[in-house]
Structure 1
Amino acid sequence: MPPSGPSAGARYPFSAVVGMADLKLALLVNAVSPDVGGVLVRGEKGTAKSTIVRALAALLPPLRAVAGCRFACDPAAPDPGCPDGPHPAGAPAAERPASLVELPVGASEDRLTGSLDIERALTEGVRAFEPGLLAAAHRGVLYVDEVNLLHDHLVDLLLDAAAMGESYVEREGVSVRHAARFLLVGTMNPEEGELRPQLLDRFGLTVEVAATRDPAERAEVVRRRLRFEADPAAFAPAWAGAEADLAARIAAARALLPSVELTDAALRQITAVCAAFEVDGLRADLVTARAAIALAAWNGRAEVNDDDVRTAARLALPHRRRRDPFDAPGLDRERLDEILDEHGGPGPDDDPDPDPGPPGGGPGGDAGTPPPSGDAGTPPPSGGDGPADGRGQSGDGEPVPADAPATPRLFTVPGLGAGAPGRRSKARSPHGRVSGARPGARGVHLAATLRAAAPHQRARGRSGPGLLVTSADLRESVRDGREGNLVLFAVDASGSMAARQRMRAVKGAVLSLLLDAYQRRDKVGLITFRGAAADLALPPTSSVEAGARRLERLPTGGRTPLSAGLLRAAEVLRVERLRDPSRRPLLVLVTDGRATHGPDPAAAAGLLAGVATVVVDCESGPVRLGLAGALGARMGAEVVRLDELGAASLAGIVRGSRKHGSRKVA
């Protein structure tokens, strides 16, 4: 009976993936020239991102390394600082397959960079280094699935290694440096949040992937996958020939790569394109040049041509054009062709014999991946201005555009939390600054453990150089760091709030805090109430793009169901507390305090007791009833007027409202 699923270690063949031409090409270009800098794969879930990346390793040529070296030193040029070295000239060498190392999102710092071998230190009294994933990935592929969810402390280490080609470990009395040059490949779903700009720029190429809408192609995807899952051993031989052809073509392109010429004309085209698209710095020029050279080698040419420049720019520039997280990656292809024409490049259809690429819908063409739409510099569409009637809408329910977002000051949730790593509120964190030690065995604090064990050595009869350590001696580090929070907005979008300048200011402040949340790794949610009900317009998310889109489409008008808004906020916070009990919330209630529909909001306000809250009073006019202020006092919240709602002012007020803390997390 055939197995019900793939056996352990079975990999889907690279050439069996249907379509995905741009993604295949980007990966193969990096296989030819790892100096291009890796690939970031952005796309919706279920589009074979991980499958095709894992399949790449089987195509890479094997590498020769010094026998027994844990750091894969090249025998022709061994690393003089290798911890397993120094390796003498002519050291024995062995051939090993190219490595594909996967970095889990929840990995520890020690797992990534390596650490002191605690067992040998305690039992033998020697300092020995245990290599991490960066060492294992040297001269191979380092793959990070869901790279946008990677903790900041790991991102910092990756940035350092990618920039220098080396990994430095300085901790626990260990000082180690070793080479760490690898092909970095990351996959991500943009709906779950964006990458930090520094890490985004480290990826040489980026590709947007989406599932095909062609029923015949979708059917072929399902057909192949079912065959693979039914019997992987029988499926692989059918693609062995195509896989061997790709591997041979990669090897041939690598051999040709050093002799490929980047002409002055091609270089002028590259620099003109990068300048015209206003990318930051010069890394884009270098990456585009390297990618164009690799493309020429892939296509068996000894000189870079206009087609190579066009394709390289299409893959290397979209993610470098983003000016803020609200911009979607993309490149205006018509503009690209105009620039190439202006500097001597032919149009995309002028090549009489374009390279068809490998068989089976492989790389070399554009089929299988829809082109990025629009220009990355174009902001998300707004809901339109409508007539200036003083009510903020051209008709009930029509959206009001937002003011431009500002840069807010840092604000924090009071107290000491233990939530997800971030950059906002104080917290106990496994990745922060060491502030002490306590009994435990996670993240061993070596010095404290040795101090605890030292007084008992004579009583335990120690006779050798090592220490006799028991479980009672183990101490773990206590670290103080920062956490990310949940900032939940509850916004009154009713007719009483629909004055145009008010809603523009409210939306602008929310956009400002969305940007701030992106930078500080927070979650942000948005509840709106109008008419007869409250809606969760934006479920708690780290995706600023999703937040901006929902906010721009937010309609206004109708009655004011204030009680429904408070009840919905309490319910959202209750559910989020179950999902992520350690992430502390901050509620920002934007209202004029009027309730023209539903019950008195006093009872609903009581359900939010203990939640750190800021009430933004939007009441205006010469006569003010102070309803929002009274509601804020009932909730124990800080109250701020709308004219003080500038993002910086709001941030400062929230930071200062320490006495109105949410529930503490020990």
Structure 2
Amino acid sequence: MGMEELQLALILAAVSPAIGGVLIRGEKGTAKSTAVRALTEILPAIEVIPSCRFSCDPNHPSSDCPDGPHEIAGENGRERSLRSARLVELPVGATEDRVLGSLHLERALSEGVTAYEPGLLAAAHRGLLYVDEVNLLHDHLVDVLLDAAAMGRATVERDGVSVTHPARFVLVGTMNPEEGELRPQLLDRFGLTVDVVASRDPAVRVEVMRARLSYEAGPAAYVAKFADAQRELAERIVKAQSLLPEVILTDAALRQIAEICASFDVDGMRADLVTARTAVAHAAWSGRTVVEVEDVRAAAKLALPHRKRRNPFDAPGLDDEQLDQAIKDSTPPEPDPDDDPDGGPDNPGGGPDGGGPDNSDGGEEGDAPPEHDDASPQHDASSDQEASSDQTARENPESALPGPAPTGQVAASSEPYKARLLSVQAAGAGVAGRRSRAITEVGRVVGDRARVGREPGRPHLLATIRAAAPHQHTRRTADTPTKPTPSGARSWRPGLVVRGSDIRLAVREGREGNLVLFCVDASGSMGTKRRMGEVKTAIVSLLLDAYQRRDKVGLVTFAGATATVALPPTGSVETAVRRLESLPTGGRTPLAEGLLQAADVLRIAAIRDPRRRPLLVLVTDGRATHGESAFDKAKQAAGWLAMQGIASVVVDCEPRRGVRLGLAAELAGVLGAEYLDLGEVAAGNLVRAVTTRSAA
């Protein structure tokens, strides 16, 4: 209810799988998964060859099907059966072998045969492949998945053996943007995208609740009530699929699509192609055989929001007014028979009054618009004020120190800059990412290890052969002989005899992602706009780098009497930037509480994600002013963090002029952290210091 755009996107993808699937973005509890699973109820049934594990079409079997070739049997043609379309769900924790399928290594080595076990892509052929929380899927799996969706086939190449099978499916992914975004190049591989939010209209929300409660009271009766509507919808999809080849995409429509895509400054040509395919599908769905402006508009709303050029922290979206203007500009005006396109004797100049171009602004032709006068009184006053301020600062250095900002004032950050790579030395297994060297599931092979039980993973061929080789004499002697040869001797089964205990798995070194937790002092002593602006600019730059490197980030702030988890560890750096930009300052400094809160966040994060290593960035002037013995308590908390072996950076924001207490430096010593003075380094050097500390 109230999700018409979502329903339309799913239906168009079903009508024309060549569109490339649908990405559904939305907050939790908005029926994303429900809508996807419901799609299978209206997809038409398909004919398959029962003996084919890859659901080949009996009328057009795939020439590269591993179970082929499929011969014609009898007078009635190939064996065939009818079954409903499948919904295959790809779990977030699936391995590459489970997605692509795998080769039976023991049979390949011992019998010399290519025994291929199909994966999820094969099961989804001619059906629906659903990836819930696709933004949490490892990057290498997303690459495999989207390549298969684009090529219509899946290829497994391993140890000199290659298997290719058809894999054409409707790819649908759902995600909550608060959990993190997809990389732009992966986002672009989805044909359509839809943003869904729960309706704020109380009447709609009441209807949703009433429908849900009615379903729970009697599921069978509720479903039966909509049986006719479901059947009509399924029949309409079949009719649209049959009409699709007859739809004409005119040159004018192609020109309009190209102009609209160009107006949104999209990269590459995929946006144009997807928009064209979607417009054709929309025309077929609407029962038309010629693409019209209405079809182009509907297609652009679904195909362009995630492809238009945007800043890293901007959410995908499309401005309806901009789209309407682009459509208006790209639609050629209808000719008026009363107009003379060449101009006549009464209108030699082609202008509205025959006098050349229309200068409705009243200016003479060729006159330039008035320019801004840089030497305005306001400009002079500002320059005089700056000069006076500089002279005062030279005469009295203390006066140059900015005073504390009013309580609750919010400082803004400046333009972020490119951050240097955070590089942590490989120490144990990490979470696949794009930042630090670590032992991960993908990457270059650096060794091998024994397989535990039937643990999934990519085998190391040479290491497996080395493990099996010493046992060949014993195994061949104990093996059962085959049929006798013509000479009467007994022959033995050729090849290498491999047992499950011989299999070795490859150890790979790749890149890992990290958890960067910012612990920011938001008290009154930090409340100068200039100082907090520098700190925020540095953190935003680190967040931009984390966005590109697939890190997790978190934000803890402390002010007044308490510390607050402004943002729990998340992959959504966009949310982190918004929380940081709105961070107010003022009040006392509960430094110990801030450190303890940061320690608790890291403790919980380690339980949930034990393989992701953290980096704590503490930004403070060290002046603990909340409670008795406040600084001693802060040092105790810092000592506890140091015992946990957490890498840390302390950024001292104490003013450089006047009396310096050096409390932040003392705190850095207790933490075993890298110490920085904000007055000595620019905001960019904060990034450099974090890099140095992370590489230590």
- TM-score where L is the length of structure 1: 0.84
Quote the residue 1:28 is aligned against: 11
**Is residue 2:494 matched to residue 1:494?**
no
Partner of 2:47: 64
Task: State the match for 1:150 in structure 2.
Answer: 137
Q: Please list the CA deviations of residues 12-60 of structure 1 after superposition, one character each: whole Å capped at 9, or x if unmatched.
A: xxxxxx3311111111111111111111111111211111111112222
Which residue pairs with 1:612 in the alignment?
647
> Aligned residue for 2:600?
571
> In 1, Cα distance between the equivalents of 2:328 and 2:46?
42
Which position in structure 2 is the counterpart of 1:254? 241
The CA distance in 2 between the partners of 1:393 and 1:232, in whole Å, is: 63
Q: Deviations over 1:168-214 (max 9, x none)?
A: 21113421222322211111111111111112111111111122233
**3-state SS of 2:580 partner:** helix
Give, in angstroms, the shift of residue 401 of structure 1.
Answer: 0.9
1:252 Cα deviation (Å)? 0.8
Distance of 1:223 and 1:123 partners within structure 2? 62
Q: 1:649 to 1:73 in 2, by over 3 A?
A: farther
- Given that 1:37 and 1:184 are in contact with CA atoms closer than 8 Å, whether structure 2 keeps it comes out as yes
Ranges in structure 2 where 5+ consecutive residues have no aligned partner: 334-385, 387-399, 481-492
Cα contact 1:194–1:325 (8 A) shared by 2:
no
The Cα shift of 1:391 comes to 4.7
Length, aligned pairs only: 603
Q: Which residue of 2 aligns with 1:506?
A: 535
CA-based RMSD of the aligned residues comes to 2.7
Paired AA for residue 462 in structure 1: D
402, 410, 413: which one pairs with 1:399? 410
Aligned to 1:342: 329
1:329 pairs with one of 316, 338, 343? 316
Q: Residues 390 and 500 of structure 1 are in contact (CA less than 8 Å); yes or no, is this contact kept in structure 2?
A: no
Mapped to 2, the partners of 1:392 and 1:305 lie a distance apart of 63
Contact 1:82 1:177 in 2 (8 A): yes
Which piece of structure 1 moves more, 325-334 or 243-252?
A: 325-334
CA distance in 2, matches of 1:466, 1:86: 27
Which residue pairs with 1:422 in the alignment? Answer: 433
Provide the residue aligned with 2:621 in structure 1.
592
Q: Which residue does 1:457 correspond to in 2?
A: 472
Shift of 1:633: 2.1
CA 1:240–1:211 in structure 2 vs 1: closer, same or farther (change >3 Å)?
same
Please say if residues 515 and 544 of structure 1, whose CA atoms lie closer than 8 Å, have aligned partners that are also in contact.
Answer: yes
Pair 393,658 (structure 1): closer, same or farther in 2 beyond 3 Å: closer
> 1:586 is aligned with what amino acid?
L
- Cα deviations across residues 583-608 of structure 1 (Å, max 9, x unaligned)? 21100111223333341122221121
Aligned partner of 2:36 among 46, 50, 53: 53
Counterpart selection for 1:516 from 538, 545, 553: 545
Partners in 1 of 2:583 and 2:270 — Cα distance? 39
Instruction: Tell me which residue corresponds to 1:636.
Output: 672
Instruction: Look up the equivalent residue of 2:649 and give its one-letter code.
Output: V
The 1-side partners of 2:282 and 2:679 are apart by 56
**Per-residue deviation, 1:67:** 4.8
Which of 180, 186, 189 is residue 193 of structure 1 equivalent to?
Answer: 180
What 5-or-longer segments of structure 1 have no aligned partner? Answer: 1-17, 347-387, 661-666
> What's the offset of the Cα at 1:283?
1.4
Q: Deviations over 1:366-395 (max 9, x none)?
A: xxxxxxxxxxxxxxxxxxxxxx99758863
The answer for the alignment partner of 2:200 in structure 1 is 213
Superposition pairs for residues 381-400 of structure 1, below 5 Å? Answer: 391=402, 395-400=406-411
Larger RCO, structure (CA 8 Å, separation 6 or more): 1
Classify the secondary structure of the residue corresponding to 2:589: coil
Secondary structure of 1:586's match? strand
| Counterpart AA for 1:545 | E
Report the Cα distance in structure 2 between the residues aligned to 1:596 and 1:554, rounded to whole angstroms.
Answer: 20
Note if contact 1:427-1:482 (Cα within 8 Å) is conserved in structure 2.
yes
SS of the residue 1:41 aligns to: strand
1:163 aligns with 2:150: yes
Counterpart residue identity of residue 489, structure 1: F
Call closer, same or farther: CA 1:454–1:227 in 2, change over 3 Å. Answer: farther
- Deviation of residue 231 (structure 1)? 4.4
SS of the residue corresponding to residue 431 of structure 1 reads coil
| 1:122 CA drift (Å) | 6.0
Matches within 5 A, 1:163-312: 163-312=150-299
| Structure 2 match to 1:14 | none
Deviates more, 1:593-602 or 1:645-654: 645-654
1:540 to 559, 569, 585: 569
d(CA) in 1 for partners of 2:97 and 2:433? 19
Q: CA deviation at 1:470?
A: 4.9
* Residues 226-268 of structure 1: per-residue CA shift (max 9 Å, x gap): 4444544443322221111011101111111111122233333
Whether the 8 Å contact between 1:404 and 1:508 is mirrored in structure 2 is: yes
The one-letter amino acid of 1:559's match is: R
SS in 1 for 2:243: helix
Q: For structure 1, which segment, 323-332 or 635-644, has the greater mean C-alpha deviation from structure 2 after superposition?
A: 635-644
SS for the counterpart of 1:401 is coil
* Deviation per residue, 1:522-547 (Å, 9 max, x gap): 21111122233322211111111211
In 1, are the aligned partners of 2:265 and 2:309 still within 8 Å (CA)? no
Moved more, 505-514 or 322-331: 322-331
CA distance in structure 1 between the partners assigned to 2:119 and 2:285 by the alignment = 33
User: How much does 1:446 deviate?
Assistant: 4.4
Look up the match of 1:104. 91
Structure 1 Cα separation of the partners of residues 569 and 559 of structure 2: 20
Contact 1:322 1:329 in 2 (8 A): no
Give the 3-state SS of the residue equivalent to 1:607 in structure 2. helix
Q: Secondary structure at the match of 1:628?
A: helix
CA distance, structure 2, for counterparts of residue 263 and residue 193 of structure 1: 40
> Aligned partners of 2:275 and 2:674: how far apart in 1?
52
Does the 8 Å CA contact 2:622/2:663 hold for their aligned counterparts? Answer: yes
Contact 2:420 2:691 in 1 (8 A): no
- C-alpha separation between the residues in 2 aligned to 1:305 and 1:452? 66
Instruction: Summarize deviations over 1:633-653 as a string: whole Å, max 9, x none.
Output: 222111223267667644443
How far has the Cα of 1:119 moved from its partner?
5.3
Shift of 1:126: 2.3
**Is 1:557 matched with 2:590?**
no
The answer to which of 201-210 and 641-650 deviates more is 641-650
Corresponding residue to 2:636 among 603, 610, 624: 603
Cα separation, partners in 2 of 1:392 and 1:214, compared to 1, 3 Å = farther
C-alpha distance in 2, partners of 1:392/1:34? 63
Question: 2-side partners of 1:47 and 1:121: how far apart?
Answer: 47
Partner SS for 1:319: coil
Contact residue 406 and residue 647 of structure 1 kept, 8 A: no
Contact 2:423–2:436 (Cα < 8 Å) also in 1: yes
**Percent identity of paired positions between Structure 1 and Structure 2:** 63
Secondary structure of residue in 2 paired with 1:458: helix
Question: In the TM superposition, what is the alpha-carbon distance from 1:93 to its structure 2 partner?
Answer: 4.3
Match of residue 340 from structure 2: none
Partner Cα distance (2:170, 2:151) in 1: 14
- Corresponding residue to 1:582 among 611, 616, 640: 611
CA 1:413–1:243: 2 relative to 1, 3 Å: same
Contact 1:462 1:468 in 2 (8 A): no
On the 8 A contact 1:505/1:645 being kept in 2, the answer is no
Larger-gyration structure (1/2)? 2
User: Conserved in 2, the CA contact under 8 Å of 1:616 and 1:642?
Assistant: yes
Q: Is the 8 A contact 2:620 2:664 kept in 1?
A: yes
